[in-house]
Structure 1
Amino acid sequence: MPNLLDAASLLTAFGTVGVFLVLFAETGLLFGFFLPGDSLLFTAGLLCATGASGGVHLSLPGVLLAAAAGALLGAQTGHLIGRRAGRAVLARTRSRHLGAGVRRAEELLARYGQGKAIVLARFIPVVRTVLNPLAGMVGVPARAFALWQIVGGLVWTVGLVLGGYGLGTSIPNVDHYLLPVVAVIVALSLLPPVLEVLRSRCRANAGSEPSREFAA
């Protein structure tokens, strides 16, 4: 039984098909928010170059096609679910992580506008799961959503897969260090939300300073 939180385990069990299924679930279905999209893409690219993890070797064109198809079709499915089901689809969930993701997705839309928010969400775990149905709920036009989610989806999938492939072809025996490499990718994927939290706190502190001076 593969470990759903382990990219290497998923790729060993399901190969290229697993890339499509994981990305479709993570970007199109709310229950897929916990799946390791970033590390899966990078590891898949690595396995295209090295054939690590028990002799698994993936085809680079196949992985790129599966990744793009899963991410793009998943996002369109999420948008459609949001348009049809409305806010009830998110109100039913009791997941603390999904709730936080919804709030951050709403902040992205308010701060950056539709296009930029849809692209940026691809690089933030959980947010890339909830922003697609949220965009459907708030009435982002289907044509505009499709354009920007395709741009973001291709940059995200192709960039991470080629990043893993480039590392695998440039560093000999990098597959021997697969777990540390994946750990680094996971850590990097957490940087955007951490930086966003820090920026929000700085803005909140800056906004509170004038009121303190007035009170004094």
Structure 2
Amino acid sequence: YVFLFLIVFAETGFIATPFLPGDSLLFAAGAIAATGALNVYTLVVVLVIAAILGDTANYWFGYHIGPKIFRKHKSVFFNPEYLERTYRFFEKYGGKTIIIARFIPIIRTFAPFIAGIGRMGYFRFASYNILGAIFWVPLFAFLGYFLGNLPFMKKNFSFMIIAIIIISLVPAVVEYFKPRQTSKKKSFL
């Protein structure tokens, strides 16, 4: 549980770790719980807490030092394009981005950070953060749990994990290839 907690916390809590396997990890952990190696309810509670705490840490990181990071040159971890994509997502969906972002890799990592930079009120952020974690973790963990013991899943487990990763990336890829429109930045909060 500790290892899984740390991975989910790191994926949601640090902007330098958007590459960690959030959705597929939750699914795989649920599938492992289906074998009896983990208690699925304990797993869900522990990982919901990890997701909430990770996003909270990321929010405060963005709030206090976020703008300084992106003034530096582009790097593997701090790509201004990630920041711009998340801003556009906030413009389109507002505060609900915190919930929606849970289901979209990369955006998931940057949304709380941007909320902090944009000075979204903490209690407003926290309510979206908690709701998002309560939807995200059980969805993928219970999918893994209920599908994990199916013979087809056992036989094709690696394929299913790859499929989850690909499906999780589709919204980000679609958003990336949409025609760019130049517009003034609106207040996203």
TM class by shorter-chain length? Answer: 0.7 to 0.9
CA contact (8 A) 1:50 1:175 kept: no
C-alpha deviation, 1:90, in angstroms: 3.6
CA 1:196–1:24 in 2, change beyond 3 Å: closer, same or farther? same
Q: Which residue of 1 aligns with 2:158?
A: 179
Structure showing greater relative contact order (alpha-carbon pairs closer than 8 Å, 6 or more residues apart): 2
Q: Which residue of 1 aligns with 2:29?
A: 44
Q: Which residue of 1 aligns with 2:185?
A: none
Q: Alignment partner for residue 122 of structure 2, among 127, 138, 142?
A: 142
Q: Over aligned residues, Cα RMSD in angstroms?
A: 1.9
CA contact (8 A) 2:70 2:78 kept: no
1:163 aligns with 2:148: no
Structure 2: distance between partners of 1:23 and 1:79: 15
Q: Which residue of 2 aligns with 1:188?
A: 167
Q: Which residue of 2 aligns with 1:101?
A: 82
CA 1:129–1:90 in 2, change beyond 3 Å: closer, same or farther? farther
- Code of the residue aligned with 1:118 in structure 2: it is I
Structure 2: distance between partners of 1:26 and 1:167: 24
- The structure with the largest alpha-carbon Rg is 1
CA 1:98–1:40 in 2, change beyond 3 Å: closer, same or farther? farther
CA 1:90–1:20 in 2, change beyond 3 Å: closer, same or farther? farther
Q: Which residue of 1 aligns with 2:20?
A: 35
Q: Which residue of 2 aligns with 1:83?
A: 63
SS at 2:130's partner residue?
Answer: helix
CA contact (8 A) 1:82 1:89 kept: no
TM score, norm. by length of structure 1: 0.77
CA 1:75–1:190 in 2, change beyond 3 Å: closer, same or farther? same
Per-residue deviation, residues 43-89 of structure 1 (Å, max 9, x unmatched): 001111136xxxxx222012101210111000000111111113113
C-alpha deviation, 1:97, in angstroms: 7.2
Between Structure 1 and Structure 2, the one with more helix by share is 1
Q: Which residue of 1 aligns with 2:44?
A: 64
Give 5+ residue unaligned stretches, structure 1: 1-15, 52-56, 205-216
Q: Once superposed, which parts of structure 1, at least 4 consecutive aligned residues long, lie more than 4 Å away?
A: none
Give aligned-pair identity as a percent: 33
Structure 1: distance between partners of 2:146 and 2:117: 39
C-alpha deviation, 1:31, in angstroms: 2.1
Structure 1: distance between partners of 2:98 and 2:91: 12
Structure 1: distance between partners of 2:132 and 2:32: 23
CA contact (8 A) 1:168 1:174 kept: yes
